[in-house]
Structure 1
Amino acid sequence: MAQQNGDSKKLDIVVVGGGLVGSLEALYLAKRGHRVRIYEYREDIRTTPQVRGRSINLALSVRGRRALKDVGLEDHVINHHGIPMQGRRIHRLDGTTYVIPYDARTNQCIYSVGRNYLNSQLLKESENYHNVQKHFNHKLIEANLNKGSLTFQKTDTKETIPVTADLIIGADGAFSAVRRAMMKQPLFDYSQQYIEHGYLELCIPADEHGGFQMPANYLHIWPRGEFMMIALPNQDCSWTVTLFMPFTNFKMIYSEENLLEFFEKYFPDAIPLIGKDKLVQDFFAGKPLPLVAVKCRPYHVSDKALIIGDAAHAVVPFYGQGMNAGFEDCTILDQLFQKHQENLRAILEEFSLTRWEDTFAISDLAMYNYIEMRDLVTRPSYRLRKAVDDMIFWLFPSLWVPLYNSVTFTTMPYSRCVENRQWQNKVLLYSFIFVGILTAFGAFLRQ
């Protein structure tokens, strides 16, 4: 299977999953000259409608942008599709709003991008490489990862297709079939956590003139303590609205009357934006879906198989880093291919040994950020801390980078972002103690 071409060994690689991360990884590998075959369970996303309930837009930040730049797509996605979001616009109960900028110092922003559009662009780009093949409607039904062999079944004809490869890369999502096969390996650690909150998607349509009904360049948040609602802008001037709430609360809303009562109590300014009829129709057309976080390690089997993206580290969506972390996997993997000159054993081992700490860290941060978004952003203590962070960042940008900025606007490893935050907490604590001692000592001297 593996072929020699000059001094570089060209590999036969199967990518299971033709979603965002799988399609991106195929481009990275194709650029290196390897033969890549993508096997995807679903139909070609370019020819099928968006599945209801799955977020149609995502937050693209620096880690994801770097990966898109590597494969030549950053400029197109940012300048011809993405909608910049400069900060969070918080909606109070009385309908008034205020803005919390993401980066008051340099005005960096994140971008709302369409999931289908981005996936389509990645697949379209792969058509420029003769060494990439795509196979849709193929379900993985059997895997022997140690031997590099897979068996797929065509979902339309039920025909079984045996496949072998030098390397299998599982990028098939949070409920990965490749990971399920990997779990049979000894010493494989795995855990998953479903939170007690689900999500349900609604929509704010464009206004009668085809424009945005709210200021477009923000992530809008309605924080309500135990639950929240957010809205991200779409390219057609509509908004994808997501209600995150405990399942017990969802169960209490079972009629048009108590749905409208609930929204009039907690989200009154959203009702005219969505429209009463559309709110009722959209709310009862679907059902709240669960949110899961997955942690596992190692990510590889010998020199034959590897999992990346949500297959390796699904996270809850509250830091907007799920896609970005998956894209960063591809960037890191490409760097390891370069470092180890296509030596699969060395590449996969180093990826497993070094990546898990960062993916565990962003998983924990995402869990925490839900509390921040639905509750803490409304508290004076949060706004005071952010003001202090922003002020010190303004004065000493190379020394003091706030947590959100380091996660979103740098490629600092996620684990280092956490360590940096812990150091900042200690500095502020000791500073406050020192100021308190000086104040008390000054008061004592004045007596």
Structure 2
Amino acid sequence: MKTTNKKTNILITGAGLCGSLLGLRLAQRGYHVDILEKRPDMRKAVVDGGRSINLALSDRGLAGLKLVGLEEKVRELCIPMHGRLIHDVDGNTFASNYSGREGEYINSISREELNKLLLDEADKYEDVQIDFDDAVTSVDLKNASVTYHDSETDTEKEWKSDIVLGTDGAGSVVRKAMMKQRDFLFSHSMNWLPHGYKELNIPPTEDGKWRIEKNFLHIWPRGGFMLIALPNLDGSFTLTLFMQYDGDGPAFNKIKTDQEITDFFTTYFKDVMEHIPDLIEQYHTNPAPPLGTVRCSPWTAYGTSLIMGDAAHAIVPFYGQGMNASFEDVVVFDKMLDQHENWSDAFDAFSKTRKPDADAIADLALDNFVEMRDSVANPNFQLKRQIEMRLEAVFAKAEYQSKYSLVTFPEEGISYREAMLRGRAQDKAILWLLENDQIKVEDDINDLLKSIQQKTEEVLWLRG
């Protein structure tokens, strides 16, 4: 533990998933931590943060929870999802497992319940103070101080600290303060998809059971748009409709009346309609917020401040890695504190190490949007997945992992960037071999592995 000055006062902006995990870990390391959160305490009030209700938790995120000793507690809040269950327009389904190996699956978990658990655990430490309903309005990065709106007195106040850690989400005030600096070059982009998302709910049966298979992530791919469903512990499912706002074909701004909603779901999602008795009301009531990707650099300023999580690298949700990437940030940052003598060096090392991985998972998430809405219904994609399942069932991770497994169930030390580079090359190799009749699903398993490895190395070599 090289960064040893425990008298350092640390201020974290944002008590969401990343901020609460980070605060907990720093408290475990012996630091005094203050956290300012603009929303009410979700443990005492119903909070509508405009965020997805449940999330996909996988190995990278679990590593962050293991770091703070909460992996087993969190697993009690999870529902395992072993693969995708694809629904076609006619109501037919087929399953596509996430991995060919035993024990590799992702988990559906309530964002709120996980956040509450992290807050409860952080609150157990005397050196952690969490203030809710206090919105940070500006940040003085050089002096590590923030101005915030105190809801109790309805006044603006200043909070002076030694270190400011911004985990305040995609709209980060700390990141915006970095953008305003003139002492260094700060690159920033926020790219919006032409699509938004609308959440709906399938209620449980009268006896509290799930109306559709609970141990899958359900997908209704329809080309330019899609519907997905994740299970909840109470027997319900959270549905998310991803669709463009405008343009040719179905779009949010063209589906507004009761009849238009009914016609749309009858045409494209008939097997879902029977499970949502109040579909019309839900559709009208629930918003359709946008989907965007935040990229920026650097993530640190003046040796006094650092951003991480969505504040540094918000991504679209199509790989189920947003929370996992944020939790992995905490793991990597924890290692940087072990390796460096001061905060400035730890911040710089974290930013340089993590930025390429953040860019990689952002790209992969955008790629997966196309795959989920289009490719999963493609025959060659299905054949590719069958081959990958065979390979993963027989060979060790060191010999073969699909792109999805490299991202979601990595061996220790496999970064997002490594997963992207090798995974993309493997995908290209397998699809080329299939399209050119060089391999078949039923081929000898050793021959399959050899052909795919050789072609993958060719692709990697050509890409330099």
Whether TM-score is above 0.5 comes out as yes
1:307 is aligned to 2:303: no
Q: Is the Cα–Cα contact under 8 Å of residues 85 and 219 in structure 1 kept in the other structure?
A: yes
For 1:91, the aligned partner's letter is: H
Matches within 5 A, 1:45-60: 45-51=42-48, 53-60=50-57
User: Which residue pairs with 1:361 in the alignment?
Assistant: 360
Deviation of residue 52 (structure 1)?
Answer: 7.1
For residues 283-330 of structure 1, give each alpha carbon's deviation from its aligned partner in whole angstroms, at most 9, with x where no partner exists: 001231111110001100021000010000000000000000001101
**Partner residue of 2:450?**
none
Aligned residues: 429
Identity of aligned residues (%): 42
2:193 maps to which residue?
195
Q: Note if contact 2:142-2:304 (Cα within 8 Å) is conserved in structure 1.
A: yes
| Partner residue in 1 for 2:113 | 117
Equivalent positions of 1:415-434 (< 5 A) are: 415-425=417-427, 428=430
Contact 2:11–2:164, Cα closer than 8 Å, also in 1 = yes
Give the CA deviation at 1:141: 1.8
**Residue ranges of structure 1 left out of the alignment (5+ in a row):** 438-447
Shift of 1:434: 9.9
SS in structure 2 opposite 1:88?
strand
Report the alpha carbon displacement of residue 119 of structure 1 after superposing the two structures with TM.
Answer: 0.5
In 2 relative to 1, CA 187–23 (structure 1 residues): closer, same or farther, beyond 3 Å? same
Which residue is 2:233 aligned to? 235
Q: Between Structure 1 and Structure 2, which shows a larger proportion of helix residues?
A: 1
The one-letter code sitting in structure 2 at the alignment partner of 1:424 is: Q
C-alpha displacement of 1:161: 2.2
Instruction: Tell me, yes or no, if structure 1 residue 140 matches structure 2 residue 139.
Output: no
Task: Give the letter aligned to residue 140 of structure 2.
Answer: N
Match of 2:59?
A: 62
Instruction: Please state how far the C-alpha of 1:394 moved relative to its aligned partner.
Output: 3.3
Distance in 2, matches of 1:85 and 1:227, equals: 22
Within 2, Cα distance between the matches of 1:332 and 1:110? 21
Q: Is the 8 A contact 2:403 2:424 kept in 1?
A: no
Q: How much is the aligned-residue C-alpha RMSD, in angstroms?
A: 2.0
Equivalences for residues 58-137 of structure 1 within 5 A: 58-78=55-75, 80-137=76-133
Contact 2:196 2:244 in 1 (8 A): yes
Aligned in 2, Cα 1:408/1:17: closer, same or farther, shift over 3 Å? same
In the alignment, the residues of structure 2 paired with residue 420 and residue 158 of structure 1 have an alpha-carbon distance, to the nearest angstrom, of 53
Q: How far apart are residue 384 of structure 1 and its match?
A: 1.3
Aligned match of 1:335:
335
Please say if 1:173 is aligned against 2:169: yes
Distance between the aligned counterparts of 2:242 and 2:306, measured in 1? 33
Displacement of 1:8 in angstroms is 4.9
The question of whether the paired residues in 1 share the 8 Å contact of 2:3 and 2:343 is answered with no
- Measured at CA, do residues 428 and 216 of structure 1 come closer, stay the same or move farther in structure 2, by a change above 3 Å? closer
Structure 2: which amino acid aligns with 1:394?
A
Q: Counterpart amino acid of 2:252?
A: F
Q: Could you report, residue by residue, the CA deviation over 1:336-357 in whole angstroms, capped at 9, with x for unpaired residues?
A: 111114x111100101111110
Cα gap change, 1:287/1:429 in structure 2, threshold over 3 Å: closer, same or farther?
Answer: closer
- Tell me which residue corresponds to 1:20: 17
- The equivalent of 1:298 in structure 2 is 298
Aligned counterpart, 1:445: none
Matched, 1:377 2:376: yes
Aligned CA distance change for structure 1 residues 428 and 373 (closer, same or farther; 3 Å):
closer
Question: How far does residue 160 in structure 1 lie from its aligned partner after superposition?
Answer: 2.4
- Assess if the C-alpha contact under 8 Å between 2:39 and 2:47 holds in 1: no
Determine which of 150, 157, 161 is the counterpart of 2:157: 161
Paired residues of 1:53 and 1:286 also in contact (CA < 8 A): no
- Cα distance, 1:9 vs. partner? 4.1
What are the Cα deviations for residues 67-111 of structure 1, in whole angstroms up to 9, with x where unaligned? 111111110110x21111111011111112111001122241111
In the alignment, what sits opposite 1:391? 390
Task: Tell me if the contact between 1:57 and 1:115 (Cα under 8 Å) persists in the aligned partners.
Answer: yes
1:36, 1:65 → 2: CA distance? 23
Which of residues 33, 37, 40 is equivalent to 1:36?
A: 33
Secondary structure of the residue that 1:163 maps to in structure 2?
A: strand
Structure 2 segments unaligned to the other structure (5+ residues): 440-464
- Counterpart of 2:200, as a letter, is L
Please state whether the residue corresponding to 1:355 is helix, strand or coil: helix
What's the offset of the Cα at 1:192? 0.7
Query: Which stretch shifts more, 137-146 or 428-437?
Result: 428-437
Cα distance between partner residues in 2 of 1:21 and 1:435: 47
Aligned to 1:273: 275
- Separation (CA, whole Å) in 2 of partners of 1:394 and 1:6: 43
For residue 316 of structure 2, what is the aligned residue in structure 1?
Answer: 316
What's the TM-score, normalizing by structure 2?
A: 0.89
Paired position in structure 2 for 1:412: 414
> Contact 1:139–1:152 (CA<8 Å) still a contact in 2?
yes
Mark the CA change 1:436 to 1:11 in structure 2 (over 3 Å): closer, same or farther.
same
| Superposed displacement of residue 48, structure 1 | 1.6
